[in-house]
Amino acid sequence: MKEAEVRDRHRKYLILGLALLLAISVVAYRLIPTPTPSTATNVEITKIFYDGLEPRTESDEYVEIKNLGSEPVDLEGWVIKDISEGYPSLTFPAYILQPGESIRVYTNEIHPEYGGFSFDSGKAVWNNSSPDTAVLYNAQGQEVSRKSY
């Protein structure tokens, strides 16, 4: 075999090898799952009704939480808290919040149509004169949403 022929054959092997590598890369790329968009879970504090109509106790104050995502979310172990004073806080029991559904955590009232959640606080929770801040944490303790007014 001439030297030129040997070189030509080596070149063919090289091209073949590169083509094979490219094919493997394409297959591997397709096998890697694309990450699901994080918009699937999107739960937010949408409202704080801080100036209750009930005199003194303001038991009808509430903080509203809405599932703005496209997937149901189990709120078990999630926490809603007034971080301005560090209290009160409510740890949710197992509750499936459906897409588009809103729940309310009242200061000291039970409204089953909004999930029936209450801080059971004998005093007003949300300050009328200087704004408080509510924070929602998931079951892993990560902040999910924050709202002031």
Name the site residues for Ca ion (rule: CB under 5 A): 50, 58, 82, 85, 124, 126-128, 132
Nearer to Ca ion, 89 or 127 (CB): 127
Tell the smallest beta-carbon distance from residue 87 to Ca ion (Å).
8
Chain position whose Cβ is nearest to Ca ion: 132
d(CA 122, CA 56): 10
Nearer to Ca ion, 85 or 143 (CB): 85
DSSP 7: H
One-letter amino acid for residue 75 of the chain: L
Helix (H) or strand (E) segment spanning residue 90: strand 89-91
Among 140, 138, 148, which residue's Cα sits nearest to residue 69?
A: 138
Nearer to Ca ion, 52 or 69 (CB): 52
Tell the smallest beta-carbon distance from residue 116 to Ca ion (Å).
21
